[in-house]
Structure 1
Amino acid sequence: MAETNGHMRFFPYEEPYDNQREAMDRIYNAFARGQDVLFEGACGTGKTLSSLAPALEYAREEDKTVVITTNVHQQMRQFVAEAREITQEESIRAVVFRGKGSMCHIDVGFEECQVLRDNTYEVVDAERDLRELEQRQQELLEAGQEGDDRAMDARSAVMDELDSVQETVESLEDQNTCEYYYNNLAGDNDEFYSWLYDDVRTPDDIYDFAEEQMLCGYELLKDGMEGVDLVVCNYHHLLDPMIREQFFRWLGRDPEDVIAIFDEAHNIEGTAREHASRTLTENTLDSALDELQDSDDARAEPAYNVIAAFRRALEETYEDAFGFGDREKVGDNWEDVSISNDDKRDDLTLNFLQQYTGKGIDTELDLAVHLGKELDDRYEEAYKNGEATTRQECQTLQAANFVQSFMAEGTELGQYPVVAVRRDEATDQVYGRAELYTCIPREVTADLFGEVYATVLMSATLRPFDVLSDVLGLEDPVSIAYGLQFPEENRRTFAVESPALFSSERGNPETQDAIAGVLRDAVEFTAGNTLLFFPSYAEAERYYDRLNREFGSRDATLYRDEPGTSVEDLRQRFVTDENAALFTSLWGTLAEGVSFDGDDARTVVVVGVPYPHLSDRMEAVQEAYDRTFADRSGRDSGWEYAVEIPTIRKTRQALGRVIRSPEDFGVRVLVDKRYTQLGERKMRKYSVRETFPPEERAEMIDIGPEKLKFAMLNFFTDRGAWDGSPPTP
């Protein structure tokens, strides 16, 4: 039985690890001081409970609510499991919250849902008034029949009001309403809430229960979140400012009454950028122009003029960017085209200014926005009154708002204009998208961290802490770090002195021969399955094809991950094999948030230093970081903050896919001399070894390419891992 004093009452197991006990104490003390916490812990350090237990204790003492959030589905399931374990020891009210889209029983969008909710509430409210008036008139009738003249006079007035309300109810019958939400409002929901808090229910549990009862589980959950101890949710509930405001209102909490725990917090940087960035597609522009052509409002002509000019500029910009054969290569995923130039503005803005002729861009955009708002109000009223079967969104309003922001903010520090193209699968036509990309995530996250009482940011790969604090806008956080707690003799980390796989070297036959030889040895001398991560899917395919030919007569099954295929199906086939190798990109979905426990994989290989494609977008982030953080570091802040550190975090995440428990064992291999001490001495600025934390560097064993197979053979032999005779070097 767990201890019952202080935060240990929320720890559901017999005894915490030493590092867990220390971490819980330090996190609790940080909360007492109102500080944020950066918590890096390798797999097996028990980060979730180390953060949850002190958070729940402090929240109970100080009347606050704990919100734990992640962007990884597997982690969401783990949080539910941990919460259920906690409830076995200490009673807590916990809910698991997910976006409306996945919980709607009638599959409508946000705007439609809002109208349906309002309409349904009006109907139920009017019906309630009608029942109360009917009951009142009946009471007055009975009193009048007993000789009370005043009652009969009062009943006459009630009957007039009753007729009026009856007319209202009849008029509302034509409105669009939601039957599920109607049942929420009209019925007794005690059974639902009794069931909800009897355990920790998942969104799928809630959906199924509500479907059986013809209830809207999403709205019931929203209405019932007030007074809960713990909420499990997705990143966007906190990172999107508008959703966050609503979310806290559903909780019945002010931001300063919330303790937020972010799991996989190394992903906050990228996710915050996604939430802050705004886009406008060519299709939306076309729809806006159609909408304006159908309008007889005087503002429609100037609105059409300015939006049509932006539409022409967008098409001209991406068409001019195409080289010979580029249009034919465009696929069904968005691809950026270069629009930067030596001028102060980008190609899209310059083309827009050239295309536009009229009374003034600002004036006509203001008219477009005002007209758009009126049209949007009309669409809502039409849906509300049952004149339309769907809630139409105003394309003019979306287009005008975006173009206003694009022109006003496009030159601000941290805002970067982007144009992308893709191919429509249905029509096979190429079309474009304009985007205002947010380079500096703290423009989103600093407000959040300033609003809530305190946060814990936890991950296996947060360091260097000072860089993370700068990028996200954290002030004076407490930092905690624990390395792998499992026995060192159960793992080896080899840094292979193979050629540096610069992008310019990838086509070199000698480099390919050397790397292929290392990979062949790594696969052959692994007692079990091997995971191989590459800088791109193209590189993964290159070495998959080569080793597939070479392993044709050997007992090894090779799998290749590629975009557009089911990763989970592939993973299942791979882990059920006994001697397999899986080739994938480090920037794919298998590099983090996916466990390969025990025999699932015994070796993980990272090939090269897998820097992302250095596009204009990435260069804009570097430039923004250089200008923002130059005074905080004597080094190249843009490259270090935007490229090198995130890349090494991804590499460390990939290495963490194996050795997931104290009994587990395995090998991690880094294939590129930039990881080695030799590379550190000879390659200097190109070396990345110093970017790893000290204890991880200390475990790296430099090894020649020809010696790797002997080292791996010895390691797995010492652990009795071979099923039969080991391979012969």
Structure 2
Amino acid sequence: MSEVNAYLRFFPYDEPYDNQGEAMDRIHTSLERGQDVLFEGACGTGKTLSALVPALEYARETEKTVVITTDVHQQMRQFVQEARAITKHEPIRAVVFKGKASMCHIDVGYEECQVLRDNTRELVDARMEAAQLRDRERELLSAAQEGEEKAAEARKAVVDELDAVSQRAESISEEKNVCDHYRNNLTGNTAEFYQWLFDDVRTPDDVYEYAHQQTMCGYELLKDGMEGVDLVVANYHHLLDPMIREQFFRWLGRDPEDVITVFDEAHNVEGAARDHATRTLTEQTLDQALEELDESEDSRATRAETVLRAYRDALVEVYEESFSFGEREQVGDDWEDVAVANESGRDDLTMEFLQQQYDGLDYKADLEAAVMLGKELDDRYEEAYKNGEATTRQECQTLQAATFVGAWMREGTQEGLHPVASVRRDQGTDEVYGRAELYTCIPQEVTKELFEEVHATVLMSATLRPFHVTEDVLGLTSPVNMAYGLQFPPEKRRTYAVSTPALFASARDDPTVQKEVGDTLHDVVRFTPGNTLVFTPNYSEAARYAAHLRKHGDSTVYLDKAGVSAEDLREDFTNDDGAVLLTSLWGTLAEGVSFDGDDARTVAVLGVPYPHLDDRAEAVQQAYGKAFGRPTDKDPGWKYAVEIPTVRKTRQALGRVIRSPDDFGVRVLLDERYTAKSKGEMGKYSVRDTFPAEERDEMLDIEPEKLKFAMMNFYQDMEAYDGPPPQP
């Protein structure tokens, strides 16, 4: 194998697709230059291997580690399959990593686990030291018996030290909390585990079961075995959370510059990074902090109580004042936002806190006192758990509350941060309670630092374009941009933009609109030789059109809704024939899930499914408009924050079908805003030009009443009907 394509030793199949070969070559060159890559590839065209193969080759040659990550469970399973195929072809050492909470055998929190580890290691070290001292004592006893003059005196010193160490070990064992699973890690023979681990690519469930049988801690075994591995499969939060990332790289035994990161479904990094940067504080935490302070005799407790109670009362007052008649009774168990930001200055919660609730002399000094007291209390709780005086590691609510309130007061007016209050109902007590949140609008606050510190990053997705928008939002500097459309035969697919009425929110309840859209959707289902997959703006619209289709009674209708397993629903649907499945475009079935071949022949997107445009969505628009606007952009906030993410989701949905060269199918966009004529008629609400050029070129504008004929002709050409086609 030549040096030019040496990375193909990690390619586990006969030969790559044409676009895979080119992509691997460009990615390998980019990694050699330390450049980031934005890699858009159509669904089903082998992006994972296109990125992994050159990354593993470059990492092997330069002693680096590849970390591939996603936030979609289906993709995690796909990574494991690809890694297993690779290691059968060219052995690699790979670890699939999940968070501690999903792998803990005794179900304790992070802080408790940390204390248990420390205590257990202290106990094991003490017992090992005692064993060494016993060996030394026996050696000295033998020497003394043979007449060595100084041996008896040395033995006495060793015996004294042995007594002290043995007492310490006994004290730890009797008085402190330890973890038997972790103790077995430290005292047992782990070589067999690591031989088993690297013989193949093991899932976290595999590791958990193996460790459980041995009464060992699989999570800690994985951590200890990650150093210097070739590949790690992980979740987004291992890279996007700065504190976790620092620990994660330490477990890898790699400096950041010796790590190559690969983000799959990278169009989701924007939202995930925003979530990781956002900070929250609930009314319940404030109440617990006040109870904690009430029990404290420290002189600072009064000052801490003054400032935290004022903030708590301000939060309650703000959300209670937001309720109109009957609204309080309608609050459910999902968080509902209460707008507190305003354009005139500080937000309503801050003003209520400062002007009405706080009656101290200096809130900054009081908050500082609260933080200092909280840190001392937190240290006491850790010592109490470590010493066995408490059965659980207590969290210091005062520290959490004071730290958040301090951040709120310092940072609440900063550009890109949006203060929000929200309410929900406690399912256990049926009480309504509130939450304050510092919502981060601009995700590069999290991502930019990551991309700058690692060797290079490959961000891949079927929907990353427009590239300049992704670069701006995530804080990338001059990445290599590469895009590959569907490489499969174009004659085996059709994409129709149907001029049904625009499903603006204001038009959705119009019976005339419902009938035209519903009847057209029925035509789509009836003229599909197999299953039809339908994506709607939300679950309510999915239920509406499911009911419409059921009235016709000529197809089995599956409806995705709360309380129904999406995986079970998908399996039932794909096992059926001639069925239709309706779901929300913002649900779990819209991406990362394949509907190959007969699983779904036609996919339809109903409407332009913009996300819920609430107060925080408006804040993101404003922040994006200020941060990224260009002279040629019209309403850049709307474009960056709403339209482009919506079209990306639409493109993801369209990609659920036609997943191989032999596959064929129809993709239907049911809304006149997708048509070419809408560009002149609907202004910024036309979304045609937001699609990449080659995808626009495939869109065929069609009137609703002609769609069934077009579909019938296409599927007849594909010889897809089992018998004569339906009659138009």
Q: TM-score normalised by the shorter chain: which range applies?
A: over 0.9
C-alpha distance in structure 2 between counterparts of 1:537 and 1:322, whole Å: 26
Q: Which residue of 2 aligns with 1:367?
A: 369
Q: Which residue of 1 aligns with 2:350?
A: 349
- Give SS of 2:646's match: helix
Q: Which residue of 2 aligns with 1:629?
A: 628
Which shows bigger deviation, 514-523 or 459-468?
Answer: 514-523
Q: Does 1:391 align with 2:390?
A: no
C-alpha distance in structure 2 between counterparts of 1:235 and 1:489, whole Å: 38
Q: Does 1:464 align with 2:463?
A: no
Pair 1:79–1:107, CA change in 2 (3 A): same
Q: Which residue of 1 aligns with 2:606?
A: 607
Report if the CA contact (8 A) 1:28-1:55 is conserved: yes
Q: Which residue of 2 aligns with 1:332?
A: 333
Q: Which residue of 2 aligns with 1:201?
A: 202
Q: Which residue of 1 aligns with 2:18?
A: 18
Report if the CA contact (8 A) 2:265-2:461 is conserved: yes
CA drift of 1:595 comes to 1.2
CA drift of 1:584 comes to 1.2
Q: Which residue of 1 aligns with 2:137?
A: 137
CA drift of 1:723 comes to 2.8
Report if the CA contact (8 A) 2:64-2:228 is conserved: no
- Aligned AA for 2:457? T
Q: Which residue of 2 aligns with 1:283?
A: 284
Spell out, residue by residue over 1:164-195, the C-alpha distance to the aligned partner (whole angstroms, 9 max, x if none): 11111121111000000001111221111111
Q: Which residue of 2 aligns with 1:517?
A: 519
Q: How does 1:569-580 map to 2 (within 5 A)?
A: 569-580=568-579
- Aligned AA for 1:283? Q
Q: Which residue of 1 aligns with 2:479?
A: 477
Which shows bigger deviation, 347-356 or 441-450?
Answer: 347-356
Q: Which residue of 2 aligns with 1:245?
A: 246
Q: Which residue of 1 aligns with 2:66?
A: 66
Report if the CA contact (8 A) 1:339-1:346 is conserved: yes
C-alpha distance in structure 2 between counterparts of 1:8 and 1:574, whole Å: 38
CA drift of 1:53 comes to 1.1
- Give SS of 2:701's match: strand
Q: How does 1:421-436 map to 2 (within 5 A)?
A: 421-436=423-438
- Give SS of 1:584's match: strand
Spell out, residue by residue over 1:478-504, the C-alpha distance to the aligned partner (whole angstroms, 9 max, x if none): 011000111111111000011111111
Pair 1:701–1:90, CA change in 2 (3 A): same
Q: Does 1:53 align with 2:61?
A: no
Q: How does 1:313-324 map to 2 (within 5 A)?
A: 313-324=314-325
- Give SS of 1:323's match: coil
CA drift of 1:80 comes to 1.1
C-alpha distance in structure 1 between counterparts of 2:602 and 2:238, whole Å: 37
Q: Does 1:109 align with 2:109?
A: yes
C-alpha distance in structure 1 between counterparts of 2:632 and 2:303, whole Å: 50
Pair 1:564–1:336, CA change in 2 (3 A): farther
- Aligned AA for 2:449? D
CA drift of 1:685 comes to 2.2
Q: Does 1:220 align with 2:208?
A: no
Report if the CA contact (8 A) 1:282-1:432 is conserved: yes
CA drift of 1:3 comes to 10
C-alpha distance in structure 2 between counterparts of 1:48 and 1:129, whole Å: 49
Which shows bigger deviation, 291-300 or 320-329?
Answer: 320-329
- Give SS of 2:341's match: coil
Q: Which residue of 2 aligns with 1:405?
A: 407
C-alpha distance in structure 2 between counterparts of 1:140 and 1:623, whole Å: 78
C-alpha distance in structure 2 between counterparts of 1:323 and 1:696, whole Å: 47
- Aligned AA for 1:258? V
- Give SS of 1:149's match: coil
CA drift of 1:33 comes to 1.3
Q: Does 1:566 align with 2:565?
A: yes
C-alpha distance in structure 2 between counterparts of 1:490 and 1:287, whole Å: 62
Which shows bigger deviation, 527-536 or 696-705?
Answer: 527-536
Q: How does 1:441-590 map to 2 (within 5 A)?
A: 441-549=443-551, 551-552=552-553, 554=554, 556-590=555-589
C-alpha distance in structure 2 between counterparts of 1:528 and 1:50, whole Å: 32
Q: Does 1:707 align with 2:706?
A: yes
Relative to the length of structure 1, the TM-score reads 0.98
Q: Does 1:721 align with 2:702?
A: no
- Aligned AA for 1:498? T
CA drift of 1:598 comes to 1.2
Report if the CA contact (8 A) 2:341-2:418 is conserved: no
CA drift of 1:340 comes to 2.8
- Aligned AA for 1:610? P
Report if the CA contact (8 A) 2:43-2:656 is conserved: no
CA drift of 1:212 comes to 0.9
Q: Which residue of 2 aligns with 1:38?
A: 38
CA drift of 1:633 comes to 4.8
Q: Which residue of 1 aligns with 2:671?
A: 672
Match of 2:419 among 417, 421, 427: 417
Structure 1 vs Structure 2 CA RMSD: 1.4
- Give SS of 2:68's match: strand
Number of matched residues? Answer: 726
- Give SS of 2:202's match: coil
Report if the CA contact (8 A) 2:494-2:667 is conserved: yes
- Give SS of 1:590's match: coil
C-alpha distance in structure 2 between counterparts of 1:398 and 1:690, whole Å: 47
C-alpha distance in structure 2 between counterparts of 1:95 and 1:632, whole Å: 47
- Give SS of 1:232's match: strand
C-alpha distance in structure 2 between counterparts of 1:346 and 1:2, whole Å: 64
CA drift of 1:632 comes to 6.4
- Aligned AA for 1:264? E
- Aligned AA for 1:46? G
- Aligned AA for 1:693? P
Which shows bigger deviation, 465-474 or 52-61?
Answer: 52-61
- Give SS of 1:197's match: helix
- Aligned AA for 2:539? Y
Report if the CA contact (8 A) 1:11-1:49 is conserved: yes
Q: Which residue of 2 aligns with 1:170?
A: 170
CA drift of 1:12 comes to 1.2
Report if the CA contact (8 A) 2:524-2:708 is conserved: yes
- Give SS of 1:677's match: coil
Report if the CA contact (8 A) 1:606-1:655 is conserved: yes
Spell out, residue by residue over 1:442-493, the C-alpha distance to the aligned partner (whole angstroms, 9 max, x if none): 0100000000000000000000000000000000000110001111111110
CA drift of 1:343 comes to 2.1
- Give SS of 2:629's match: helix
CA drift of 1:558 comes to 0.9
C-alpha distance in structure 2 between counterparts of 1:176 and 1:594, whole Å: 44
- Aligned AA for 1:155? R
CA drift of 1:312 comes to 0.6
- Aligned AA for 2:76? M
Pair 1:35–1:633, CA change in 2 (3 A): farther
Spell out, residue by residue over 1:90-109, the C-alpha distance to the aligned partner (whole angstroms, 9 max, x if none): 22111111111111111111
Q: Which residue of 1 aligns with 2:147?
A: 147
C-alpha distance in structure 2 between counterparts of 1:685 and 1:146, whole Å: 98
CA drift of 1:546 comes to 2.2
C-alpha distance in structure 2 between counterparts of 1:2 and 1:605, whole Å: 46
Q: Which residue of 1 aligns with 2:590?
A: 591
Report if the CA contact (8 A) 1:445-1:472 is conserved: yes
Taking only the aligned residue pairs, the percentage that are identical comes to 68
Spell out, residue by residue over 1:184-212, the C-alpha distance to the aligned partner (whole angstroms, 9 max, x if none): 11122111111111111111111111111
Report if the CA contact (8 A) 1:530-1:601 is conserved: yes
- Aligned AA for 2:712? L
CA drift of 1:16 comes to 1.1
C-alpha distance in structure 2 between counterparts of 1:93 and 1:180, whole Å: 25
Spell out, residue by residue over 1:580-626, the C-alpha distance to the aligned partner (whole angstroms, 9 max, x if none): 11111111111111111111111111111111111000000000011
Spell out, residue by residue over 1:225-272, the C-alpha distance to the aligned partner (whole angstroms, 9 max, x if none): 111111111110000000000000000000001110100000000000
Q: Which residue of 2 aligns with 1:232?
A: 233
Q: Which residue of 2 aligns with 1:77?
A: 77
- Aligned AA for 2:525? V
